[in-house]
Amino acid sequence: MPFFQVEQLTKKFGETTVVDRVSFSLEEGRCVALLGPNGAGKTTTLKMLTQLLNPTSGTIQMDGYEQNADLRTQIGYLPQYPIFHNWMSGKEFLEYVGKLTHLTPTEAKVRACELLEMMGLADAANRRIGKYSGGMKQRLGIAQAIIHRPKLLLLDEPVSALDPFGRREVLELIRELKKDTTILFSTHVLNDAEEVSDDIIIINQGEIKVAERLHTLQEQHQQPMISLQTKAPIHPLIKGWEDWDGVTEIIYEEYAAKVVVTEMEAIKKKMLADIVAKDIPLIAFEVQKSSLEDLFMKVVRG
């Protein structure tokens, strides 16, 4: 059952339409990725949901509320570049934000401690935010977004600005958080979307191109695939393979290739035999499934 619905949401800045009649709905307790290249309209969409931007037209509705009602009590939001009062300590900021979301001073204090603990910021609780690292700020940003236990958590590019280590931490956190709340997060990285989301919405040039459950997409668009790596440039070595029955496509790189196949077993045997026969200098041979990259690329390129 969808509990949050967006209908025909449109945003124009002057003549340019940044978000064009976007409609989707969110089901309770799911983690949804809003996937799209830079400039697709992801941030603008999220900002309209938080009511920081007024939609040019369209409606936003949450279960139990009127259309376009003030939903700020039910929504938590992490902007792409979270900004804090740098002169406050992490603990002070969380307590301040907590009190602004109608917690009593005692509740705010307890909740702040709890969140600092959960985000691994307990040691830095009394340090000025100005001295926090990027990853710490991102975690503090998530903490301030969920302090009032919102029904819907909106995260704008939560992992894009982080190093691989910080990225991993935040993805783990999202996985943890989706047990309690519905999450809509934007990203331009397909892997991040595949890793933690249940549903995927692909948006490009302000329009929704695909909105589907992740595993449905995987079933429909993932194909068995063999990836190869060689010591010498690969193209001349395996040129003839395109013509084999059961090979759909070969994607070449300089020393590597991805062979998309329909019948894995037969092709695999034939390939290995050919490799031995031609004495191809093989480094790696791996049986895989194609990622959703193709689909994403196709959608983005139009």
Which one of 5, 10, 59, 101 is in contact with another protein (CB under 8 A)?
101
- Between residue 260 and residue 289, which ones bind another protein under the rule CB under 8 A? none
Which one of 17, 25, 50, 181 is in contact with another protein (CB under 8 A)?
50
* Residue whose pair of structure tokens reads 């799209």 in the numeric block: 36
Which one of 97, 159, 214, 225 is in contact with another protein (CB under 8 A)?
97
Q: Does 72 bind another protein (CB under 8 A)?
A: yes
Which one of 87, 172, 215, 288 is in contact with another protein (CB under 8 A)?
87
Return d(Cα 200, Cα 30) in angstroms, integer.
11
Which range touches another protein (CB under 8 A), out of 47-55, 119-127, 188-196, 252-260? 47-55
**Smaller CB distance to another protein: residue 99 or 235?**
99
The single-letter code of the amino acid at 135 is: G
String of b and e for 221-250 (b: at least 16 CB within 10 Å)?
Answer: bbebbbbbebeeebeebbeebeeeeebeeb
**Smaller CB distance to another protein: residue 70 or 172?**
70
Return d(Cα 247, Cα 148) in angstroms, integer.
53
Which one of 12, 21, 99, 270 is in contact with another protein (CB under 8 A)?
99
Which range touches another protein (CB under 8 A), out of 67-75, 119-127, 211-219, 241-249? 67-75
Q: Does 51 bind another protein (CB under 8 A)?
A: yes
Instruction: Dihedral sign for Cα 274, 276, 277, 282, please.
Output: positive
Which range touches another protein (CB under 8 A), out of 78-86, 116-124, 203-211, 215-223? 78-86
Which one of 8, 52, 266, 278 is in contact with another protein (CB under 8 A)?
52
Least distance from C-beta 6 to another protein, angstroms? 17
Return d(Cα 91, Cα 115) in angstroms, integer.
9
**Smaller CB distance to another protein: residue 13 or 231?**
13
- Give the number of other Cβ atoms within 10 Å of residue 180's Cβ: 13
Q: Does 56 bind another protein (CB under 8 A)?
A: no
Which one of 63, 102, 134, 233 is in contact with another protein (CB under 8 A)?
102
Return d(Cα 94, Cα 101) in angstroms, integer.
10
Return d(Cα 25, Cα 75) in angstroms, integer.
15
DSSP codes of every residue in 12-59: EETTEEEEEEEEEEEETT-EEEEE--TTSSHHHHHHHHTTSS--SEEE
Burial class (CB in 10 A: 0-12, 13-18, 19+), 102: exposed
Pairing of strands 2-13, 152-156: unpaired
- Between residue 177 and residue 206, which ones bind another protein under the rule CB under 8 A? none
**Smaller CB distance to another protein: residue 67 or 73?**
73
Q: How many residues bind another protein (CB under 8 A)?
A: 27
- Between residue 114 and residue 173, which ones bind another protein under the rule CB under 8 A? 144, 148
Q: Does 69 bind another protein (CB under 8 A)?
A: no
Which range touches another protein (CB under 8 A), out of 48-56, 235-243, 266-274, 276-284? 48-56
Is the Cβ–Cβ distance between 225 and 260 less than 8 Å?
yes
- Of residues 110, 179, 168, the one with CA closest to residue 139: 168
Residues forming the site for another protein (CB under 8 A): 43, 47, 50-54, 70, 72-73, 75, 77, 79, 81-85, 87, 96-97, 99-102, 144, 148
